[in-house]
Each structure stands twice: as C-alpha cells, then as structure tokens.
Amino acid sequence: RFLRDRQSIPLSSGQAINILDKWILARLNQVKSEVSKALNVYELDKASRSLAGFVDDLSTWYLRRSRERFKEIKDKRQEKDRENAITTIRFVLLEFSKIIAPFTPFIAEAIYQNLKFQKSNLKESIHLEGWPKVELRIKNNELRIIREMEEVRKLVSLVLEERAKAGIKVRQPLASLKIRNPKSEIRNKKGLIDLIKDEVNVKQMIFDGKIKNEVELDIIITPELKTEGNLRDLVRVIQDLRKQAGYTPKDRIEAYIYTDNRALKQLILDGAKNLKNVVGAKILNFQKTDKVESKIEIKIDSVNIWAGIKKIR
C-alpha cells in the first residue's frame, strides 16, 4: 500500500543517500545493461541469469537489510530515510517489472498493477511501457559501489562462519572484529562498516595486516555483552509473542516484562525507546499481569524472564 502512494520518480545511485539505496540502484543499472546486451545478441540464457542474480540481491540483501527502514517512526531523520527507502524500492520494482516483462509477462503485470494508484502516471499495462532507458556502459562510481558491497558480503559470510565454528549465535554481541586487509577499499567507508557491524553484531571493526586469518573475532563475552545478548533474545521473544497472537506489523502493543536480573532490567530501561520501536510497543511495563493476550515465562542463559503483550485497541 505505501508503495502505491508515491509517484514514479526517476532515480540514480548518485541521488541516493543511504548506501543500500546507492547499491541497489547501481545493481539495477547493471542488470539493465547486462540484459539489454544479452537480448541484442539473442543470448536469452545469459539475460535470464542476470535477472535471477538481481532478484537474489534484492530480496536477501537489500530488502532484508532495509526492513527496519520501512517501519513508521516519528523521528524526523529516520522518517526521511524511510521515505528514501520507499521511493527507491518503488522505482526499482517499476523498472525491474519492465525488464522482466518479456520473460515473465504475468508476474511483471502483477507487480506493475500493484504499484498503481488513482493519480498515477503509469500506463494501463506494463506491456504498454517502453523498454527502460539503458546506459550500456555502467558508470565507474556504480561499479565501485557494487565492488565494495561484494567485499562487504564476503566479509559478512566469513564472520558468520567463524561465529558458527565458535558456537556463538548472531544475537550475542561481540567486542571486535579484525580484518586482515589494512588497504581494503571499505576501511574508511562508515556506511559500509556500520552495515557489517550491524549484520555480524560486533562493536568495533579493525583493519590489521598482522592477523593470521582473513577475519578474526574477539570471542570473549564479558558480563556486559552477555546482558546485551539477553536483551536481544528478549526482543525475539516478544516478536514471537506477536506472531502467536496473530498481530500484524501495524498493530501497536502494550508490553509487560518482569525479571529479577538487575543488569538486564537496567539495560531494558536504558534502551526502552529503541526496544519499543523494534517490537512495536507504545507502552512498556515492568510487572506481571493476567491482563495480556499472549505471555511466556522462560529462562535465557540462566536469567528468568516473564513477558506478556496485549494489543492496544
């Protein structure tokens, strides 16, 4: 629905602010170029491979990493980022529907029709649209963005492998991550570094040529890090309660949490605003009550926690 409320505005990676938007727009231009070149010489198999790769990038990386950006938040800066994300994904889906129209006409039409609204400047059908504007040679700055994101995703994969070997779940924060490449292209790119830190859940990233392996995780879990990990587990518990109760993402809740662990309670208090945003709660109470619609009593790493929720009607 929120995608239909936006006009179709032509975008470029140079106009975007968020690194994820820059990247997906660069990838869109790349796939336009690749498909156009392949179709010009009747290499249909090559064209379809480019489309499949883009769908994977769009769903498993862009949309997953942007999921929180689409939520309604009153903070002005975050609201601006939300608007940018919505404008970007709408433009990408419109352009991509034109590219896939010769290959999957019904899917392309379904995407296109779902993006139309009453005062839309779109045509009656995707099949009345022209082929999207294509620059057969992708720009150097877009190639650089694509190359840097490939490095990011490679590093993320390596770090997640190291976490799995150590038996440390991703929800558990770790102090630091060392990368064995002091000359890496991304070492001074804050947006990309923040992306990695958030994806693999580490506090600090260090580029160092002296470590033995390509990546090296500090796997020492301090009491502070352990408590923070417990808080992330609590968020997951509340999200599971929402699912069990059949709430939609739009439904606002009143959350109740009780624990006799002082450190965890203090961490919840300190991060109450962020916690409420993440779980969609308008009210957060620190007590037990029977006036809830979904509840659970569990133990997270030997910490007893009771949680319950009810929808605000």
Q: Which residues are CB-neighbours of 89 under 8 A, at least 6 positions away? A: 3, 24, 62, 63, 66
Of 40, 19, 67, residue with least CA distance to 196: 19
Quote the tokens at residue 74. 């009153």
Is 178:211 a contact under the CB 8 Å cutoff? Answer: yes
Is 266:259 a contact under the CB 8 Å cutoff? Answer: no
pLDDT of residue 91: 92
Is 27:146 a contact under the CB 8 Å cutoff? Answer: yes
* Tokens 């502070």, located at residue: 224
Q: Is the pLDDT of residue 11 over 70?
A: no
d(CA 214, CA 212): 7
pLDDT (tens digit per residue) in 201-240 = 999 999 988 887 889 999 999 989 988 898 888 899 999 9
Query: What pairs with residue 254 in β-bridges?
Result: 283, 310
Is 150:156 a contact under the CB 8 Å cutoff? Answer: no
| Residue 274 confidence class, pLDDT cut points 50, 70, 90 | confident
| Residue 292 confidence class, pLDDT cut points 50, 70, 90 | very high
Is 8:71 a contact under the CB 8 Å cutoff? Answer: no
Read off the DSSP letter of residue 49.
H
Q: pTM of the predicted model, to two decimals?
A: 0.84
Q: Is the pLDDT of residue 119 over 70?
A: no
Mean pLDDT, residues 35-42: 93
Question: 92: number of CA atoms within 13 Å, CB side?
Answer: 28
Mean pLDDT, residues 185-212: 91
pLDDT (tens digit per residue) in 142-179 = 999 999 999 999 999 999 999 999 999 999 999 999 99
Is 294:308 a contact under the CB 8 Å cutoff? Answer: yes
Average confidence score pLDDT of the chain: 89
pLDDT of residue 5: 47
Q: Which residues are CB-neighbours of 131 under 8 A, at least 6 positions away? A: 36, 98
Is 255:309 a contact under the CB 8 Å cutoff? Answer: yes
- Percent of the chain past pLDDT 70, that is, above it, reads 93
pLDDT (tens digit per residue) in 58-79 = 999 999 999 888 877 666 777 8
Q: Which residues are CB-neighbours of 93 under 8 A, at least 6 positions away? A: 3, 111, 115
Quote the tokens at residue 77. 């800066």
